[in-house]
Structure 1
Amino acid sequence: MERFDAVDVIRAKRDGRTLTTKQIDWVIDAYTRGAVADEQMSALAMAIFLRGMDMEEIRAWTRAMIASGDRLDFSGLSRPTADKHSTGGVGDKITLPLAPLVSVFGVAVPQLSGRGLGHTGGTLDKLETIPGWKAALSREQLMERLEDPGAVVCAAGPGLAPADKKLYALRDITGTVDCIPLIASSIMSKKIAEGTSALVLDVKVGAGAFMKRSEDARRLAEVMVDLGRSAGVRTSALLTDMSAPLGRTVGNALEVREAVEVLAGGGPSDVVELTVALAQEMLEAAGQGGHDVHAALKDGRAMDAWRRMIRAQGGDPEAKLPVAREKHVVRAERSGVIREMDALCVGIASWRLGAGRSRKEDPVQAGAGIVIHKQVGDAIETGEPLLTLYTDEPERFPRALEILEGSVTYDGLGPSGRGTVILDRVS
């Protein structure tokens, strides 16, 4: 590989020039090996943040991060594969019912997931509230479980896109997280390295999402779809509403309970709507479209697939889930119809109750979180329960209540409901 000087690469981007593929290949490889220092990569990340990248640069950056590590190969499986990635939100438990639901129709779901950080929850943290369930699988175990039961939710191995792992941690402490080229290449380098043949992206928009504005979310979706398709992965994206929390629960064990309700044919309408829409997208992308996805939730097939998925990773799907020791009920201050419920405030409150972490090594409380008794569009009377807060440590209640102050707005008009959670589709 041709050698470059890190300072020259930094200056090129600082001055607004386009980086060549050779420059990008070298700097990603050198950074992964430790030959480019964190200080230098920090400067380059900030230059990219300020100057941006064109589409060819983003493709090259993504390919270089994929090339920094291993790449899984599912071509030997007897069934097609499809994966889903969410950009993160509040109450986003969709992976839990979605993976087993899609597997019902003969599509394998290799859902390599992560842990929560800040106000967004992590799928692995949620599933680890199920007694016995284990996130870690060897590559051989992953392949076996993709054949049977056909759905796997597990931790990604350290060999996939190691450049991204280093760069992600650096972006978090240098103010360069909110940058579409770096976000898109981070997400897609891992997803492409995972080896799935079809990918559906759930790009959140609104107060509780990474992207607050619809135009930014659409741009991110377009870039990621381009990256996927350029790498030979059938890719599409749904833009979905995260102005209010998704469903009626936020927090690890609480969200597992709600996911099980969906698998049993019930659950909140917004969670069901998004689960079904993403399942249909995944099946279509995997060449298995046309199935009645709703029917599999109603007739028990999805629940059977969930139980097999949990048991295959050591969990007991019939075991009681953890419950927090303390609770506090927040009641409506006046009568009216709920017009807004700030998802970010609810997410931060749940985090402050112990459901999330500030650093990757922090523990989380399995039972902490919030149950939402009334959603946007619901009528409520003065004194009726609005939210119930749960934690093992009652001293956490005041700070959670502080962020919730003013997070819900009412008016006196008739109920209207939240409306569709799906805002648009990008393909």
Structure 2
Amino acid sequence: MFSKNRLNYLKYLSVWAFALLLIPGALWAQDSTKTGGGGDVEAGKTLFDNNCQQCHSPGADVIVGPGLKGIMDRRSMEWLIPWVKNSAKVIASGDPYAVKLYNKYNKTAMQSFNLSDEEIKNIFAYVQAYKPGGNKDEQTTPGQTTANAGGGQSNYFNLVLGVLVFVLILILAVLFLIISVLRRYLNQQENEGKLDEEDKEILHEKFNIGKVLRHPALLGGVAAIFLLVFAQAGLDTLLSVGVQQGYAPTQPIPFSHKLHAGQYEIGCEYCHTGVRKGKNAGIPSANICMNCHNAVKQGSPSMQKIYAAIENNKPIEWVRVHNLQDFAYFNHSQHTVVGGIECETCHGEIKEMEVVQQQSPLTMGWCIDCHRKTVVEGAKDKGDGKAKNAYYDRLLEIHQKDSKKPITVENIGGLECGKCHY
């Protein structure tokens, strides 16, 4: 006699496979809501650079005009299109938001632009997709998530989902094939009179979706998935406590690193004087600013704040972007001079940032991973005239006699607790 439960279990497995097949679809649907959408991001970037960047940043506020970060949350496209085409007309209409903006920025009306609706949509698609850092690889394009806009991560995510969908479809096809074969077998047995009443009941039983959905195995599985998702969300939340990756505060004086470090190629150590000399990189004093600005842009409203700070003998209250916990020790000179690490390694493409943001997570795991991978170099290792640390030359010489593997920071105590938690 054919076991009554076998065919039913196959039916339940089929329902499970189909239900699981909906999960990647839901993830993709959720993923698609985070894209720039509504326009061509690449075309929008070109239009923004040619028409808007003189006064606006796709991120936070700048000196001339408001930053456009989150503009799609504050204004609809129906409002933005006429505003870009003729802001003076919108202001004259008495629109409260337009009037407030006009008054906030010294009653300076934005110029009118002869752009099509599609071109304006492209600009705001770029603004919506923009991530501080200005790096093309860090901006989202249609079909990428904001969180995974770095290309590799997004492609990996899509690859995993694609493989999952393929496997589930394959399982579903195999299950339906097995059910079909078993039904044919039972039909054959019935025609030959070899099937008892219980097996006939199974063969002619109608599929009851309600019964399947109420089955304890299915309900238990759904509850287990819910608990796992909830636990994962809770764990992610706990692990993100104190992590401020992407933090880009508004400074008391708008300062463009893209202009100073990028366009004018001012070295980091000129303003951050301690970056190669001490534990802290240091925040530039107003006097450092005046080395240039005693003759440059003297009439700028922002410069008046620097003059006032000097006259009142009060420092400019810059907002710190990168801030480690009090129990973690970090020495800049040890990394920049001894380790030969460039600023961009930890801080990202500073030369491309209008508003500086925290590029790296600065977590313990991130530091440990770097110490495990970073190779220790001595003065003799460099052939470009940039000597590293001759202190390690003798150590490297002894090590290379017995091993072909390079020495990493981990091998010289880089993972000892007392290195960072003194």
User: Which band: TM-score by shorter chain?
Assistant: under 0.3
Structure with more of its chain in helix, by fraction:
2
Structure with more of its chain in strand, by fraction:
1
User: What TM-score do you get using the length of structure 2 for normalisation?
Assistant: 0.25
User: What TM-score do you get using the length of structure 1 for normalisation?
Assistant: 0.25
Identify the structure with bigger relative contact order (alpha carbons < 8 Å, sequence gap 6+): 1
